[in-house]
């Protein structure tokens, strides 16, 4: 029996591996099918928007076809229409399509801020998350700035489907190459002029000629490259798809490897076509010999939520207080999480299924309490999961089709027959969310979530971790308006002894407060409960449920903003506190936190990546304190601080997505993920403050020798970003993943330092280079590396392809700092010609104590520029006594040198 179970478990791991996104996109005979484009519920009703979406995709398909050398096209698209729009006979109910798994979202317009962009949180070649458009963009109102919307869609599609990056750089528009100033572009055959532009209000004018920075030889800020409208070059879509002649992606032959852009930085100087050619899509297709058909469209309209709980009450649920813990979590879902207007049914199962409640629409607390009475009170019998699922289908079909309905399946037991109903599940069109309770839940359970796009969660028997309540608390609607969703503010537990106290505070911020619930659970007897609102008034009126061992308080109206203080006292038992709320207003978006892993399965020694997205509406929340707790099947927990620093696992700095590697595997099996987020900076009115992955805004065009400027993007000016400190707390489930291949303890060190991705080089004077980067760790981004290997070359490709043969810099004085610290190192090139006009390239590898090397860093560059006219000597060169000096060094006197060095750098900028 054990051997059979092990084989099944390995099969499930194979089926789940690589499941990064819940996207429904399929590639079928060169055509992309089941693309989901969702219109946000807050977008005002406008029927013309639907036709405009169709027009965009129809225009994009032949452009994609030609750009990929007749290999790909758009075959079928689902357009998801909000529930609050008028119904029409041609609108049908969705199946697995939801806002959560949409590939493209149409968000409300924001004044002057209609930049199309794609969320990308992974490495080069990894699929993106979502494409973001606005109605104004879809309507074609940004044609001059971005070009035809179909072309823009193809640009964003390349981000989304193939994980390539942009070939322009708004922060660094020019670079020096062999003494010549070049605009960052791909290919270099694109022609244009460099002009200084002055913008005020809604218009821009050409200023005086661009000034040259005397230190760098580059143009000063305010200068932009304006291309000719008429070009002859055909690449590249990832630079400027808006140029009429551009119909393809840069290839290995014409890719500009020296340009300081994201594509070169993230993809190791490879062209976009090289990355696309390495994708799974490319490998399983061949060019077509016939013209592809136009895309087809299906119009889907969100309807009422229909959900059925399917809960295990087999004999194994009697152990570990599992049955009661399940009922506590089930009551939270029924009393609070599920939204008003939803239809809910209840099925329990052991060796067979029992219908505890047919579908009831949630209209009042009476309906909620009626459903809660159906939760099971005894546990016995075997485990037959398929019987529970089949009964749930019957309950749902009594009133509605199963298409688009949801099933919440919880089980703690083994069941080798679960695959017998896989086909029924697929045909049902229902979404199944799974909750694995304890170490022995059916190995194939996650496959049900994977095949239907449902959420998969795991809860251990450690009640103080509150995993079961977190799992049910995460089951808010994937389609409902965000103002109606339950938001978890706190989730905490503790095992208390000898009349100990569990004390703390919960922050209720101004974006939430409606329908706020404080829920306390215990394992043996009711604890002492004290709760005070922000004004110091003690709250009474808790509803005590002695049978389920829980107490809860609904705060009337809108809960007061501020810190709510609690004190709970108990002896020899485990207690938990959960606080949930909803948006305080339908017009003010609440601050939300979502968490997930980069894939469903981790294979040792491949690391997992944890992502947390903290936002208010479309605006990212920056500088929050974000912590993740990962619990393994053995009960071991690891706490990680997630970072938004653009280093290590984090793809982009200051985008509201916080990330970290996880390498602390200790056993095979399931791992749960939980997230806390506290405080931060709200970048009000900004859809994506630092979002680099989007179509290029064109400042203007040269037509018939005349420069015609486009309106400025004033709202995107980062100096104008409104930043406000916000106090909030969120505690959410990040789902679960399954680990395999973990060796028995002691686990060997097979984790190298993570790749350095933010190496920067700056020239001081004419002989000293200042390097900065974020320190990696011993194991990816934990601990600290043992040493750095820094090499330089005058050939960017030699440095990449022949790193070990390039000139090595002495790093004797460079002692690696703790991971995620800033490293600063000064070097004076030796054994290499460094004269006026020299372009010098630098890269780093980190090495850990096990002598494991990181991947090669991004390649930084400096260009030595000496003004052609004699200059009055200035203190811009510092003699360096050795080839490399780290400003992290503890050598006496170097702190003084660092002060002088920084002062001279500022003095140089003043002279310029």
Residues tagged active-site: 156
Residue owning tokens 């700035």: 145
CB 311 within 8 Å of CB 375: yes
CB 385 within 8 Å of CB 418: yes
Give the span between the Cα atoms of 314 and 383, in whole angstroms.
6
Helices (H), 535-691: none
CB 186 within 8 Å of CB 255: yes
Residue 503 Cα to chain centre, angstroms: 33
Helices (H), 169-266: 237-240, 262-266
Give the span between the Cα atoms of 207 and 198, in whole angstroms.
6
Nearest to 600 by CA among 670, 549, 543: 670
Rounded to whole angstroms, the maximal C-alpha distance in the chain is 93
Give the span between the Cα atoms of 457 and 333, in whole angstroms.
15
Where is 309: in which H helix or E strand?
Answer: strand 306-312
Q: How far is CA 605 from CA 20, 601, 665, 906, in A?
A: 18, 12, 9, 46
CB 362 within 8 Å of CB 342: yes
CB atoms within 10 A of CB 89: 5
Give the span between the Cα atoms of 820 and 757, in whole angstroms.
12
Half-sphere exposure of 403 (CA within 13 A, CB side): 10
According to DSSP, the β-strands at 608-616 and 406-411 are: unpaired
Structure tokens at 778: 């011993």
CB 242 within 8 Å of CB 230: no
Give the span between the Cα atoms of 862 and 421, in whole angstroms.
62
Give the span between the Cα atoms of 839 and 179, in whole angstroms.
8
CB atoms within 10 A of CB 537: 10
Q: Using CA atoms in the order 506, 511, 515, 520, what is the torsion angle rounded to 10 degrees?
A: -20
User: What would the DSSP string read from start to end of 514-540?
Assistant: EEEEEEEEESSSPPEEEEE-TTSPBP-
| Angle, CA of 569, 571 and 572, to the nearest 5° | 140
Backbone angles phi, psi at 273, to 5 degrees: -70, -35
Beta bridge partners of 495: 574
Determine whether 821 is exposed, middle or buried from the number of CB atoms within 10 Å of its CB (0-12, 13-18, 19+). Answer: exposed
Interhelix angle 2-16/445-452, rounded to 10 degrees, is: 20
Beta bridge partners of 660: 610
Helix, strand, or coil (residue 788) = strand
Q: How far is CA 518 from CA 356, 434, 500, 783, in A?
A: 27, 25, 20, 39
Nearest to 754 by CA among 779, 789, 774: 779
Give the span between the Cα atoms of 575 and 789, in whole angstroms.
51
According to DSSP, the β-strands at 76-81 and 296-301 are: parallel
CB atoms within 10 A of CB 878: 17
Q: Using CA atoms in the order 228, 232, 237, 241, what is the torsion angle rounded to 10 degrees?
A: 40
Give the span between the Cα atoms of 281 and 367, in whole angstroms.
49
């Amino acid at each position: 029996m054990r051997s059979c179970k092990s084989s099944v478990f390995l099969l499930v791991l194979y089926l789940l591996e690589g499941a990064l996104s819940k996207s429904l996109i399929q590639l079928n005979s060169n055509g992309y099918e089941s693309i989901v484009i969702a219109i946000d519920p807050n977008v005002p009703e406008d029927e013309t928007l639907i036709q405009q979406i169709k027009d965009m995709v129809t225009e994009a398909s032949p452009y994609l076809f030609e750009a990929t050398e007749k290999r790909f096209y758009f075959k079928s698209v689902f357009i998801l229409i909000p529930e609050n729009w008028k119904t029409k006979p041609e609108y049908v109910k969705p199946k697995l399509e939801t806002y959560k798994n949409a590939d493209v979202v149409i968000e409300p317009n924001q004044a002057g801020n209609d930049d199309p962009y794609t969320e990308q949180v992974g490495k080069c070649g990894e699929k993106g998350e979502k494409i973001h458009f606005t109605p104004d963009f879809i309507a074609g109102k940004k044609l001059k700035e971005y070009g035809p919307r179909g072309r823009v869609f193809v640009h964003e599609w390349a981000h989304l489907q193939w994980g390539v990056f942009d070939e322009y750089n708004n922060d660094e528009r020019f670079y020096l190459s062999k003494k010549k100033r070049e605009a960052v572009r791909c290919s270099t055959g694109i022609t244009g002029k460099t002009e200084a532009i002055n913008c005020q209000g809604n218009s821009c004018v050409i200023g005086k000629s661009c000034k040259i920075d005397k230190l760098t030889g580059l143009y000063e800020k305010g200068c932009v490259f304006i291309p000719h409208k008429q070009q002859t070059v055909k690449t590249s879509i990832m630079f400027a798809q808006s140029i009429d002649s551009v119909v393809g992606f840069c290839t290995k032959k014409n890719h500009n490897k020296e340009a300081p852009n994201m594509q070169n930085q993230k993809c190791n100087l490879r062209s976009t076509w090289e990355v696309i050619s390495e994708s799974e899509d490319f490998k399983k297709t061949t060019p077509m010999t016939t013209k592809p058909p136009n895309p087809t469209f299906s119009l889907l309209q969100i309807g009422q939520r229909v959900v059925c709980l399917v809960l295990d009450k087999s004999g194994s649920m009697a152990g570990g207080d599992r049955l009661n813990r399940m009922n506590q979590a089930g009551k939270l879902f029924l009393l609070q999480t599920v939204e008003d207007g939803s239809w809910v049914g209840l099925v329990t199962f052991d060796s067979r299924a029992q219908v505890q409640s047919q579908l009831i629409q949630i209209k009042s607390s009476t309906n909620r309490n009626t459903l809660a009475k159906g939760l099971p009170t005894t546990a016995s019998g075997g485990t037959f999961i398929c019987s529970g699922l089949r009964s749930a289908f019957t309950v749902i079909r009594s009133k509605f089709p199963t298409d688009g309905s949801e099933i919440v399946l919880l089980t703690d037991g083994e069941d080798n027959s679960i695959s017998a109903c896989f086909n029924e599940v697929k045909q049902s069109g229902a979404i199944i969310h799974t909750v694995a309770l304890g170490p022995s839940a059916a190995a194939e359970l996650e496959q049900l979530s994977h095949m239907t796009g449902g959420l998969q969660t795991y809860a251990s028997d450690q009640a103080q971790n509150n995993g079961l309540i977190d799992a049910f608390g995460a089951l808010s609607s994937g389609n409902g308006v965000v103002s109606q969703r339950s938001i978890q503010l706190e989730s905490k537990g503790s095992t208390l002894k000898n009349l100990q106290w569990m004390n703390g505070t919960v922050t209720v911020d101004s974006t939430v407060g409606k329908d706020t619930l404080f829920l306390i659970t215990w394992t043996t007897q009711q604890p002492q409960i004290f709760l005070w609102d922000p004004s110091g008034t003690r709250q009474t009126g808790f509803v005590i449920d002695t049978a389920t061992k829980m107490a809860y308080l609904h705060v009337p109206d809108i809960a007061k903003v501020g810190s709510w203080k609690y004190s709970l006292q108990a002896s020899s038992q485990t207690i938990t506190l959960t606080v949930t709320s909803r948006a305080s207003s339908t017009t003010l978006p609440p601050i939300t936190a979502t968490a997930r892993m980069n894939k469903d399965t981790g294979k040792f020694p491949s690391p997992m990546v944890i992502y947390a997205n903290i936002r208010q509406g479309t605006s990212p929340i920056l500088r929050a304190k974000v912590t993740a707790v990962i619990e393994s099947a053995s009960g071991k927990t690891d706490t990680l601080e997630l970072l938004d620093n653009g280093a290590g696992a984090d793809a982009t700095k200051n985008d509201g997505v916080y990330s970290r590697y996880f390498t602390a595997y200790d056993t095979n099996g399931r791992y749960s993920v939980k997230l806390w987020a506290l405080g931060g900076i709200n970048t009000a009115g900004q859809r994506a403050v630092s979002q680099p992955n989007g179509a290029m805004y064109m400042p203007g065009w040269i037509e018939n020798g005349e420069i015609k400027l486009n309106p400025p993007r004033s709202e995107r000016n980062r100096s104008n970003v409104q930043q406000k400190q916000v106090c909030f707390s969120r505690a959410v489930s990040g789902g679960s993943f399954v680990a395999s291949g973990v060796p028995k303890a002691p686990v060997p060190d097979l984790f190298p330092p993570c790749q350095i991705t933010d190496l920067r080089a700056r020239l001081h004077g004419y002989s000293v280079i200042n390097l900065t980067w974020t320190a990696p760790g011993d194991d990816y981004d934990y601990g600290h590396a043992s040493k750095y290997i820094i090499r330089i070359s005058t050939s960017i490709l030699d440095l990449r392809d022949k790193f070990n043969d390039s000139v090595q810099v002495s790093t004797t004085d460079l002692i690696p700092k703790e991971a995620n610290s800033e490293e600063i190192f000064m070097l004076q090139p030796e054994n290499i010609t460094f004269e006026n006009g020299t372009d010098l390239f630098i890269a780093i590898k980190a090495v850990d104590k096990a002598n494991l090397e990181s991947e090669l860093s991004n390649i930084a560059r400096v260009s030595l520029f000496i003004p052609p006219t004699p200059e009055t000597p200035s203190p811009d060169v510092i003699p360096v006594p050795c080839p490399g000096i780290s400003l992290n060094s503890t050598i006496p006197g170097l702190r003084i040198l660092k002060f002088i060095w920084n002062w001279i750098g500022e003095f140089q900028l003043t002279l310029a």
